[in-house]
Amino acid sequence: MYKETAREVLDFIQRSPSCFHAVAEISRQLEAAGFKRLRETEKWLVEKGGAYYTTRNGSSLIAFRVGRELDDYHFQVTSSHCDSPTFKVKEMAEVKGKGGYLQLNTEGYGGMICSTWMDRPLSLAGRVLVREGSAITSRLLAFDRDLLIIPSVAIHMNRNVNDGAAYNKQVDMLPLFSAGECGENSYRRLLAEELGVEEEAILGSDMYLYSRTAPSIWGAAEEFISSPKLDDLQCAYTSLKAMIQGENDHCVTVYACFDNEEVGSGTKQGACSTFLRDVLQRLNAGLGFDGEDYCRAVAGSFMVSCDNAHAVHPNHPEKTDGENCTWMNKGIVVKFSANQKYTTDGISSAVFSGICRDAGVPVQYFANRSDSVGGSTLGNLSSQKVSMHTVDVGLPQLSMHSAYETAGIRDSQYMVDGLTAFYRTNLHITDSETFVMDK
Ligand code: ZN
């Protein structure tokens, strides 16, 4: 069972070469499960027992299912993110080099480990804005072939390469596109050909590099999975699966997957935006509730913010706190930070741990070393617009933000089981300090 779920995660990642493709794939799976699409620009009709989703910018998505009875109106939410560190192609996309070399002009998106992007087949995925009559339409585009490589400098020309390297993104990280056969304007021509449109019809684009290295299940005992973008597509998929199967007749269950986590979430579709609040307020109105009902519902709500966590590194165990550290294949990680970079507190940890314990799902606890800063995630940001009890969780992995990340083969199943139990357990919050877990 856990192997099948791990394969589903890897399959989902391969169908998601960009955040736009991830949202398209999530939409496809939601529709197959009976969720109806709502557009933000149209009036929403929402009913008890109904299941719906909406997207913003084509790169963030929120789905919700309204309980049939709705006798304990509140929201039980999971959140994750669908973007990953990569390189974005600049608007003036080509750089002419010596001897006919053609390179793509890119800039970094998020905090990637640069060296891991070198010497491996890369391609392009994203969206292109195409003029069709009086309309400008967004078209998904992903090249399903090896198109680019960022070549490293031979060790003979860079003898110090193994002594700690520095990478300049304007100099060292530009991908090679042609050795001379492709003339000027080839990049644009390539996009137009692939889309089957005239070059002049292309008015804009958001195109990113993606790694072509195939995911793998590996190890002498097949204990590991490796793939691009496990952070955070592993959580985006496992929470989606839990949302689809985790029905709850009493409340509203919500699945949110945000773009732009890797660049601080401060965009119109990011976790800091009004997106979640707008969706919750509109479904509140659609169900005939008023502002007082909304505030009461939010006060009784709970969010599980899902973003991958760090497993102990085999070569560098000293990088993690000796006790508050986590291991692959040992279950869901609950993350703590005294300064609240992670939102987890005693209450939210207790509630989530209680649900997992009842479901037989192992949980482990993480805090950064007290002398290191660590990363940040979604929970504390979305709380600024919609404030509810929140726990920050994730799955343990190695090499976060590498172009090829590694995780445990068993943990995806643990997340599916833990979050399914979370959705199915009706959390009845009588005040901010008392919780009843109804099955
Ligand atoms: Zn992440």
> Distance between CA atoms of 304 and 243, rounded to whole angstroms?
12
pLDDT number for residue 384: 80
Percent of the chain exceeding pLDDT 70 equals 100
pLDDT number for residue 179: 96
34 contact partners, CB below 8 Å, separation of at least 6: 51
CA of 199 to the centre of ligand 1 (A): 36
CA of 72 to the centre of ligand 1 (A): 32
Burial of 230 (0-12, 13-18, 19+ CB in 10 A): buried
CA of 398 to the centre of ligand 1 (A): 12
CB atoms within 10 A of CB 167: 16
CA of 54 to the centre of ligand 1 (A): 22
CB 302 within 8 A of CB 78: no
> Distance between CA atoms of 332 and 330, rounded to whole angstroms?
7
CA of 201 to the centre of ligand 1 (A): 35
Q: Which amino acid type is present at position 219?
A: G
32 contact partners, CB below 8 Å, separation of at least 6: none
User: What residues pack around ion ligand 1 (CB closer than 5 A)?
Assistant: 231-232, 307
Instruction: Tell me the pTM.
Output: 0.96
CA of 308 to the centre of ligand 1 (A): 6
CA of 233 to the centre of ligand 1 (A): 9
> Distance between CA atoms of 216 and 225, rounded to whole angstroms?
6
CA of 37 to the centre of ligand 1 (A): 26
CA of 377 to the centre of ligand 1 (A): 6
Each residue's pLDDT expressed in tens, for the chain with a length of 439 residues: 999 999 999 999 999 999 999 999 999 999 999 999 999 999 999 999 999 999 999 999 999 999 999 999 999 999 999 999 999 999 999 999 999 999 999 999 999 999 999 999 999 999 999 999 999 999 999 999 999 999 999 999 999 989 988 999 999 999 999 999 998 899 999 999 999 999 999 999 999 999 999 999 999 999 999 999 999 999 999 999 999 999 999 999 999 999 999 999 989 999 999 999 999 999 999 999 999 999 999 999 999 999 999 999 999 999 999 999 999 999 999 999 888 889 999 999 999 999 999 999 999 999 999 988 877 788 777 778 889 999 999 999 999 999 999 999 999 999 999 999 999 999 998 776 777 887 6
CB 178 within 8 A of CB 101: yes
pLDDT digits (tens, 9 = 90+) for 196-242: 999 999 999 999 999 999 999 999 999 999 999 999 999 999 999 99
pLDDT digits (tens, 9 = 90+) for 145-189: 999 999 999 999 999 989 988 999 999 999 999 999 998 899 999
CA of 262 to the centre of ligand 1 (A): 7
CA of 82 to the centre of ligand 1 (A): 8
CA of 376 to the centre of ligand 1 (A): 8
pLDDT number for residue 439: 65
Q: Which amino acid type is present at position 124?
A: L
Taking the CA atoms of 313, 316, 317 and 320 in sequence, report the sign of the dihedral they define: negative
Burial of 154 (0-12, 13-18, 19+ CB in 10 A): exposed
The continuous run of DSSP H or E covering 37 comes out as strand 36-37
* Distinct helix (H) and strand (E) counts, the chain: 9, 22
